[in-house]
Structure 1
Amino acid sequence: MYNAKRLNALAKPKQLPDLRYMQYTQSVSKSAVQYTLPKTSRIWDLSKPKNRQLNPRQHKVLKTIFNEDRNPNKYEGIRYRIIELAQPKLENRHVHNTCVEIPPEKSYRRPFEKQTAWLKKNSAPRKMYRPPITKKNYTKLSEAEIERFFERLAMVPESKRKKTITKEHKPKINTLPDSMLTSVNHLSVPRKLASEMRLNFEFDPYIIPPEVLNHKASKRTQELAEPKVYETSNLKDAVRENPFEISRSALKYKATPLIKKLAMPKQYD
């Protein structure tokens, strides 16, 4: 019943406790040894072993097993319930007559013909229903027939004629109130620039301020200001451009009226 590894592990002797740790434990006092509990206390009742009544059926089964085999230690360590379940069941037991009768098995299968017909019907892909298309034969009317139709329509009174009703667009707000008119008029006026934001018309771009003349560039700015020199021979041969030469397209170019308009300075009131 038990695993061999589990039994071997339990068969090994346990190690004795180390005496070095046991010598520091305190000795039991005389008062604890000589103390006697009163019989009326709760501890006295709990210290007694529990007297459990054995199941009489289990007790009988165990007795019969031990008497037949004459080896009471054979089932030592096995639970009584497992021993009881291991016993063969009684043959002469009371069984209801209806429980003994086995009902006949019902065959829920369809006949072969019906099954094949159902498979043929459902195995094919379903077709979407589409109404039949009827071709319209358009005929062209002659001029005489068209005139007859117009004469018929002219004979119909105005009360029976179908008139096309055109809905007039009605704005949500017909007229603005006075409170809104004042705010709208105020917002319609263009904004005026403040005195700080206005352009300085007296500014002369040819006058250089002394701060710019006295400026001393750092080493880093001088390094960045130097042009990059490419010492590759391919670039020297490929780039042959005269910086002082003006192209013909630039000489023949004429400014359009839109560019002239955009080039004019803005005028602020």
Structure 2
Amino acid sequence: MKRYALLLYGLFGYLVGLGTLLYLVFWVYPWVWMPTTIDSGAPGSPLRSTAIDLGLILLFGLQHSLMVRPRFKAWFDRHVPYGAQRATYTLVSSFFLGLILLFWQPISGTLWHFDQGTFGWWLTTLLYFFGWGVAVLATFQIDHFGLLGLTQAWRGYRGLGEPEPTFQERGFYRWIRHPIQAGTILGLWATPLMSTGHLLFAAAFTLYVLIGLHFEERDLLRTLGEEYADYRKRVPMLLPFPKRSSR
């Protein structure tokens, strides 16, 4: 019975995580059919709105930083079974991302606004689809279901533990080391309507991604060793421009 509960928990975490992320993808673009978007609502006091929005982003960032720290992970390993760990992380992350989606405050001011059908509208919309498309496809080129905890729940159901980490260079990962993050950054910035609130969100999350990649690269080097060090020398981080060979 416990194994079935673990599998159902993993499936629930996967569906909640996937649904929250998909809502975010559509939330950052001015779709008229969306119930809410990043610019929904009447702008209030700029200082108050900025403080609330930065607070929401800070909560999300602190949760992500805390749950990947070695001390917390050691506690997590002792109290949460392997098959439920990633699903729990996904659910907690979805909660804090949901707070942003629910309580984000629009801020008055517009940097650019391209009318539908114009060149600027087509360009930003195509880049939006391209960015998020790359991010989604890249998850399947590593372990889409593992990123949201379903693979771990399935292994727990079968009585298997955590597998040995392996390194594979495929798909987008042959050109850039972090295509999920690169696509996400592009998807956040590519919009025909860049409001001040959207700018704040895109800039803050870009900064968060860059800081997170710094620590992720350090962990990957520690885990995978020379294999990843060589990969890091050959393949750029976010932009698919070939590296110059050092003489």
Coarse TM-score class (shorter-chain normalised): under 0.3
TM-score (norm 2): 0.17
TM-score (norm 1): 0.16
Higher helix content, 1 or 2: 2
Larger Rg: 1
**Structure with larger RCO (C-alpha < 8 A, sep 6+):** 2
